[in-house]
């Protein structure tokens, strides 16, 4: 994988975070209502066109609804990486990253969170597809080193549409081909991930469950498919065409999940998932679990996973799920 952007960009991103958090409610966008009851964004391009423009090599990141009413999702099996994060009320939301495939449709699409911007800092000018954000967060999104594209932004391109089989807000979908001219390829995945042979050791693990306060994910090894079958809240995770979602590698990354400075329209605090720093993780591949360390120095770096002796940990070829879980104790291995 390519190395992350320069440390100069990291300093710029840090300055932007501080500036916007101090800016309060000021926003450079005209707000409308998003599907969480907060302001959605509308940002015209410099040329006045409503069609987004992706930088060559940009990945597409889509915020995907994972509430019970949003399942099954569309296009989830085509993602190169699926990030799982905790949101308000102990529920979960997904961020799917596309680089090697551009499916016809992805969704349902939902709103962005503050910690998404830190997570996406590792990619070169990614395109972020989402349906809105908390009003005070909009200035931060405006100034982040990414192309944020809402339904309002892409109205002229016809990139978003409402499905007919579900009620809002669980029926908004995006056509990735309208946002990316073509798949940028695996070189755009500046994540620090490596593919290759499994590390030695590990422990046979037929399944593993990760629990949030109001959600849970179970990954069950299928020897016949050489994949981990995903279940969400006790039910198989499938796409709208019936495909079982089955990543080749699962990473349970233990991080600090803290309160952010933002709240949803009901007054619930929005959790902030810290992905810069270091800690413990579990890597599931080939039917075994490996206890490893993770480190990400700055928001523009990828995440390095290493064994106890410092050797890089390689993943199996195929989709990767990264589940961010609250670290039980920063000084204690999970």
CA atoms within 13 A on the CB side of 14: 12
pLDDT in tens, 8-38: 444 444 443 333 333 333 233 433 334 443 3
Q: Quick one: pLDDT at residue 33?
A: 38
Q: Is a pLDDT exceeding 70 seen at residue 125?
A: yes
Q: Is a pLDDT exceeding 70 seen at residue 214?
A: yes
Which candidate, 71, 73, 190, 182, places its Cα nearest to that of 121? 190
Distance CA 141, CA 208 (A): 35
DSSP 46: T
Q: Quick one: pLDDT at residue 297?
A: 97
Q: Quick one: pLDDT at residue 45?
A: 35
Q: Please report, for the chain, the start and end positions of each structural domain, with discontinuous segments joined by +.
A: 7-42+57-188, 203-326
Q: Is a pLDDT exceeding 60 seen at residue 52?
A: no
Strand extents, DSSP E, the chain: 32-33, 39-40, 60-64, 81-86, 92-98, 127-129, 147-149, 160-162, 172-174, 203-204, 207-212, 215-222, 227-232, 235-236, 249-263, 269-274, 277-285, 288-296, 304-306, 320-326
Q: Quick one: pLDDT at residue 132?
A: 81
Which candidate, 125, 174, 122, places its Cα nearest to that of 153? 174
Q: Do domains 7-42+57-188 and 203-326 have the same CATH topology?
A: yes
Reported confidence tier of residue 333, pLDDT bands at 50, 70, 90: very low
Strand pairing of 320-326 and 249-263?
parallel
Q: Is a pLDDT exceeding 70 seen at residue 312?
A: yes
Q: Quick one: pLDDT at residue 97?
A: 98
DSSP 245: P
pLDDT in tens, 72-123: 999 999 999 999 999 999 999 999 999 999 999 999 999 999 999 999 999 9
- Write the class of the CATH domain 203-326: alpha beta
Beta carbons within 10 angstroms of residue 164's beta carbon: 6
Q: Quick one: pLDDT at residue 8?
A: 41
Higher pLDDT, 84 or 180: 84
pTM, two decimals, is: 0.84
Is the Cα dihedral 23, 93, 179, 189 positive or negative? positive
pLDDT in tens, 248-301: 999 999 999 998 877 666 677 789 999 999 999 999 999 999 999 999 999 999
Distance CA 184, CA 60 (A): 9
Cross-strand partners of 82: 96, 321
Q: Please state whether 22 falls in left (phi above 0), alpha (psi between -120 and 50) or beta.
A: alpha
Q: What would the DSSP string read from start to end of 253-276?
A: EEEEEEEEEEE-TTSPEEEEEE-S
For the residues 201-230, what does the mean pLDDT come to?
97
Distance CA 103, CA 74 (A): 9
What is the dotted CATH code of the domain comprising 7-42+57-188? 3.50.90.10
């Amino acid at each position: 994988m390519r190395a992350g952007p320069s440390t100069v960009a990291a300093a710029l991103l840090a300055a932007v975070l501080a500036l916007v958090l101090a800016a309060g409610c000021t926003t450079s966008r005209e707000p409308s209502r998003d599907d969480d009851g907060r302001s959605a964004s509308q940002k015209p391009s410099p040329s006045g066109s409503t069609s987004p423009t992706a930088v060559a090599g940009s990945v597409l990141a889509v915020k995907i609804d994972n509430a019970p009413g949003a399942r099954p999702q569309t296009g989830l099996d085509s993602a190169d990486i699926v990030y799982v994060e905790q949101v308000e009320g102990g529920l979960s939301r997904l961020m799917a990253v596309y680089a090697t495939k551009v499916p016809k449709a992805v969704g349902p699409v939902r709103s962005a969170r503050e910690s998404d911007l830190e997570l996406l800092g590792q990619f070169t000018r990614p395109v972020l597809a989402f349906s809105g954000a908390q009003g005070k967060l909009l200035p931060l999104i405006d100034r982040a080193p990414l192309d944020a594209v809402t339904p309002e932004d892409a109205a002229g391109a016809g990139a978003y549409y409402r499905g007919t089989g579900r009620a809002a807000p669980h029926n908004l979908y995006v056509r990735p081909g309208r946002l990316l001219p073509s798949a940028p390829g695996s070189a755009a995945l500046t994540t620090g991930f490596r593919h290759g042979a499994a590390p030695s050791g590990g422990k046979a693990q037929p399944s593993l469950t990760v629990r949030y306060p109001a959600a849970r994910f179970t990954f069950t090894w299928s020897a016949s498919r050489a994949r981990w079958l995903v279940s969400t809240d006790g039910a198989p995770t499938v796409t709208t065409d019936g495909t079982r979602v089955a990543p080749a590698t699962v990473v349970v990354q233990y991080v600090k999940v803290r309160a952010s400075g933002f709240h949803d329209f009901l007054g619930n605090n929005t959790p902030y998932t810290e992905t810069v720093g270091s800690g413990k993780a579990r890597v599931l591949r080939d039917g075994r679990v490996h206890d490893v360390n993770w480190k990400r120095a700055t928001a523009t770096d990828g995440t390095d996973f290493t064994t106890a002796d410092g050797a890089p940990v390689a993943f199996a070829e195929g989709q990767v799920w990264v589940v961010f879980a609250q670290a039980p104790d920063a000084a204690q291995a999970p």
